[in-house]
Structure 1
Amino acid sequence: MEGSGLNSIGDSVYVYVGNYQEEVRIRIKKLKEGAEGRMEQDGNKWISLTMEQWESLCLVKEEVSKQIELVTGRDAVTKRAWRLSPNRFVSVDRIRSTFINAFVTLINIRIYFMGGTDLPDNPTRYGITLKPEQ
């Protein structure tokens, strides 16, 4: 895959543009430093978007930002999702973390199994979770 350089959006998460099977793709990946000091992929923490899906994400950016502002600081579990393609969604999730015993706001860009529903209820392992500042 040929492409642009890595652009950091914080916390070892990078965005880059490349070609895959003669199609332009935008990839968002979590990378870690490998044994030889080279950056390598951190498990399944990535998502690849077509230009159409990327443009859909850009169109809902303001709504996502408003939802982040709306839920941040609340002590309640909430979720709102936007469809990027038939099986890819971006969502703002306000969850209770048992690890830190507090509510956190996260942005998920993820592929879903779509059973008989239009709602993103069955996430696959393919996707990435971002913090609001990313």
Structure 2
Amino acid sequence: MTGVNLGKQHPDLYRDVIALSKNADAAVAEAGLDPLLGELVKIRVSQLNGCAFCLRMHTRDAITRGETTDRLAVVAAWWESQYFTAQEQAALALAEDVTRLPVPEPQAWDNGSLNEQQVSAISWLAIVMNTWNRLAIRSHYPVAP
């Protein structure tokens, strides 16, 4: 057996993840963060997890929201570019911390650019995106041209 579509096997759980995802997106908006920043977080988390399905989806969503190809091209190395604001850098670093679960130490994302509500919203968004990546990867969602 190469893969089992987890959503089809347990549709109630899948619907719960959809609801959680919508709530995380709403938390981002309620925290006053740009939805485009949410897409960048989803893309970065998906890069770290190696989820081609989610990468394609959220890259397309980011382009639809007005993201540039230049910024998308360097999001995997955001810290080496001058394309991202301090808030975007903080959010991307926080999403990486949530995804990698580092040993506690001074946090690079804690530069004062995000308030507590925004830190919580980005953390939830990264947690949900990690869940989606794992669902897509474990279910072997097809990614073809």
TM-score range, shorter chain: under 0.3
The TM-score normalised by the length of structure 1 is 0.28
In proportion to residue count, which structure has more helix? 2
Bigger RCO of structures 1 and 2 (CA < 8 A, at least 6 apart): 2
The TM-score normalised by the length of structure 2 is 0.27
